[in-house]
Structure 1
Amino acid sequence: MLDSYARRIVQPAISGGAKLLKGAGLSANTVSWLAMLLGVGSSAVWMAGYPAAAVAVLWISGYLDAVDGTIARMTKPSKWGNILDITFDRVVEGTIMAAILIMYPEHILPLGLILAAILVNVTAFLVAGNVISNSGVKGFHYNPGILERTEAFVFFSLLMLLPSMVAVIAWIFLVLLLFTTIKHLRDVYVWLEENSPD
């Protein structure tokens, strides 16, 4: 939700970073790689016992993940860049959830269900992006949801920082993921109903 509706507020900071990194000679795809490596690295930092540092690294990764698209639009967006971006997002999310599962084995039920729900939710998101006509600046239709990347990072951060609250945070995260999946599927259904030939 925040990715879709608060982007205008943070875009100046994203554009500033994009200009800086582009000026340093970094391509959008290179920044995508950096974002992914930092995101994966954040789970290692957390498992090593530095939760605050891990969360900081995670959010730097998220910032670079936003910057790479802005660099692409400043230069020449590519389908390959879109593929890298989507794939690397899942690599980061999967790595973090795997680390959380390893560190909190006593909460395997809600955390395992979250991992499955992320998979289903991303599938519904990509289906919506493939079916609904694109009118935005991204490489495909970006269907807004209740949970988007920023909200996921908030939950990942809370799970890392608040071990005593893992069960409560996990169940809330799971419920919101399910509602987000339902929204994506409903949006596709409504679009098809409105745009199908009579």
Structure 2
Amino acid sequence: MLDTHARKYVQPLIGKTADGLLRIGLTANQVTGISFIIGAACGPLIFYDLPAAAVVLLWLSGFLDAVDGSMARKTKTSAFGTVMDVTFDRIVEISVILGLAFRFPDTMWALLLLSVSIIFSITVFLTVGNVSDKSDMKSFYYQAGLAERTEGFILFSFMIMFPAMLLFFTLLFFAVETFTGIQRMFEAKKILKGT
């Protein structure tokens, strides 16, 4: 929801950063790789009880993930860049979940449920993007929903910073993600009617 509706407020900063990185010779795919490395470091930081550093890196990774898309649109988008972007996003999420699961083993069951809800929601998202003939500024149809990347980062941040409430925030994230998957299924039925 926030990615869809609040993007216009941060787009000037994203665009300027994209321009700056292009000026120094970086490509969108290189920034995708940098974003991935930064984001994947979150799990070990969580495990070693460095929550503030993990949250900072998580958001820096997310910011660069938005910047790489702007860079691609300013130059030339690539199908492989899209594959890298979507795959690396999931690995960053996996890193956070694993870091939390190994740091707080009592909540592994809830984190497993969260993982299942993310798999469900992203499966619907990617399948609809693939079979839909709609398109937008991304290289495939971007299906909005209650939980987009920013909402996920907000909930991950609460999970990391407030371990006493980890179970609550994990189950809240699970509920929001499951609702989003169902929401996208209903939208898909409307979009794909007759195809």
Q: Shorter chain as normaliser: what TM range?
A: over 0.9
Cα drift, residue 133 of structure 1: 2.2
1:1-198 equivalences in 2 (<5 Å): 1-193=1-193, 196=194
Unaligned runs of 5+ in 2: none
CA contact (8 A) 1:131 1:188 kept: no
AA aligned opposite 2:84: L
Query: 104-113 vs 61-70, which deviates more?
Result: 104-113
The one-letter amino acid paired with 2:22 is K
How many residues align structurally?
195
Paired AA for residue 118 in structure 1: I
Q: Which moved more, 1:132-141 or 1:117-126?
A: 132-141
Instruction: For residue 37 of structure 1, report the CA deviation from its aligned partner.
Output: 0.4
Distance 1:4 1:96 in 2: 24
| Structure 1 segments (4+ residues) deviating >6 Å | none
Aligned partner of residue 142 in structure 1, secondary structure? coil
The 2-side partners of 1:84 and 1:108 are apart by 28
Which whole-Å CA distance do the structure 1 matches of 2:14 and 2:99 have between them? 28
User: In the TM superposition, what is the alpha-carbon distance from 1:96 to its structure 2 partner?
Assistant: 1.1
Q: How far has the Cα of 1:100 moved from its partner?
A: 1.1
- Alpha-carbon distance in structure 2 between the residues aligned to 1:86 and 1:192: 23
In the aligned structure 2, how far is the partner of 1:44 from the partner of 1:124?
30
By how many angstroms is 1:176 displaced? Answer: 0.5
TM-score (norm 2): 0.97
Shift in Å at residue 103 of structure 1?
Answer: 1.2
Q: Is the 8 A contact 2:42 2:99 kept in 1?
A: no
Q: Secondary structure at the match of 2:145?
A: coil
SS in 1 for 2:133: coil
Instruction: Report the CA distance between 1:165 and its aligned residue.
Output: 0.4
Percent of aligned pairs with the same amino acid: 38
Shift of 1:120: 1.1
Shift of 1:61: 0.3
TM-score (norm 1): 0.95
Letter in 1 for 2:76: K
Tell me the CA shift for residue 73 of structure 1. 0.6
**Contact 1:128–1:187, Cα closer than 8 Å, also in 2:** no
1:25 alignment partner, SS class = coil
One-letter amino acid of the counterpart of residue 187, structure 2: D
Distance 1:7 1:39 in 2: 20
